[in-house]
Amino acid sequence: MGGSSGTRTDNPSLKELFRLDSELSMTNAPVSTAHPSPDGVSPTPVPRILVVEDDEDIARLIVMHLEDLNADLLHCDQGDKALQLALSNAWDLIVLDLRLPGMGGLDICRQLRERGNITPILMLTAKSSELDRVLGLELGADDYLSKPFSPLELTARAKALLRRTRMNRHQENAELEQNGAAEPLKLGPFCICDRTHRVTMHGDRIELTSREFDLLLHFARQPGRVFRRSELLDEVWGYGHDGYEHTVNTHINRLRGKIETDPGNPQYVNTVWGVGYRFQVEP
C-alpha cells in the first residue's frame, strides 16, 4: 500500500493495517509523491485514493487491487473522519461505501458537493439498493459499483476515473503553456471554462458536479450531434458497460434540472427517442 497510513509490520492484522486513528489524519501529509515517467525525465504524480469502507474484508480487497494502480492509498472506516480527510487533503479518487458508522456515504457525498469539492467519487452500494444508487448519483457521485463486485471491474472503473482526472489536468497545463489561460467555450447563453470547471448561463454561475461538467462540455463541443448512451459511457465515463446506461439517464436528468427552465420540456439537452441525446442551442 502507498505509505500514507503509518508504519507497517511484517504480518499486520486487518485492524492494524486499516485502522485510522486521529493522529493519522494526514492533514500535514504531502499532496503526492511521483513515479518516473516512461521516458525517465518527467515524474508522473502518484494518484491519491481515499477508500471509505467499514467492512475490513471488503476494504482489504479494495486496497489490494487498487495497489496495482501504483496509487497512494488511505483507508478510513468512519464516516465523520472520512469527511474530514476528504475536505482537508487533495485526492484523485474517493471510493465511498454508503453504509458507514457515524455519517453515511450519501451525507458525505452531499456535503462534499455542496462545498465545491469535485473529487471523483466511486460509490459502493448493496445490490438491491437501487434507490441509494439513484440518490447517490443525484447528489453528485460519478459512478457506482454494486456489491458483490468483480475486482476487475473495480480496477477498470477506478482507472477510468483517474484517467479522466489526469487528462483534465494535462489539458489545463497544456492550455496554460500555450495560451497563458484557457479560452472558455461560449455557446448561446453558456460560457464553459474547462480550466476552472466554471459554467455560467446568462452570466449566472451554474454549480455542476465534476461528471455533470464533463457531460455538458462534451455536448457543447459537438452541438447537434446525437449521442447514444453507450457512446456517452465510453467517451465521458471512460468505459462501456452493458446495463449501466441508466447512469447516463440519471446524470442527464440532474444536468437538465440545473440548466433547463422546464426540465420536463428541455430546450438544450433533448432526447432523441430510440437513439440517445442531443445538445442544441439556437443561434
Domains 48-170 and 182-279 share a fold: no
What average pLDDT score do residues 139-168 get?
A: 84
Grid cell of 93 as nine digits: 479518487
> Regarding predicted confidence, which is higher, 53 or 165?
53
Q: Which range (29-33, 47-51, 207-211) has the least confidence?
A: 29-33
Query: Which CATH architecture is the domain 48-170 placed in?
Result: 3-Layer(aba) Sandwich (3.40)
Closest CA to 66 of 7, 149, 154: 154
Q: Mean pLDDT of all residues in the chain?
A: 78
CB of 282 within 8 A of CB of 188?
A: yes
Q: What is d(CA 101, CA 78) in angstroms, rounded to the nearest whole number?
A: 6
Contact 79, 104 (CB under 8 A): yes
Which sequence spans correspond to the domains of the chain?
Answer: 48-170, 182-279
DSSP for 200-217 reads: EETTEEE---HHHHHHHH
CATH entry, 182-279, from 1.10.150.240, 1.10.10.10, 3.40.50.720, 1.10.1060.10:
1.10.10.10
Kindly state the average pLDDT of the residues 67-90: 92
Per-position DSSP letters for the chain, written without gaps between them: --TTS-PPPSS--HHHHH---GGG--TTS-S--EEE-TTSSSEEEPPEEEEE-S-HHHHHHHHHHHGGGT-EEEEE--HHHHHHHHHHS--SEEEEESS-SSS-HHHHHHHHHHTT----EEEEEETT-HHHHHHHHHHT--EEEEES--HHHHHHHHHHHHHHHHHHHHHHHHHHHHHSSPPPEEETTEEEETTTTEEEETTEEE---HHHHHHHHHHHHSTT-EEEHHHHIIIIIS---TT-HHHHHHHHHHHHHHH-SSTTS-SSEEEETTTEEEE----
Q: What is the pLDDT of residues 239-274, one digit of tens each?
A: 655 556 777 888 899 899 999 999 999 999 999 998
The C-alpha cell at 69 is 494502480
Q: What is the pLDDT of residue 231?
A: 86
Q: What whole-number percentage of the chain has pLDDT above 90?
A: 34
Return d(Cα 100, Cα 179) in angstroms, integer: 45
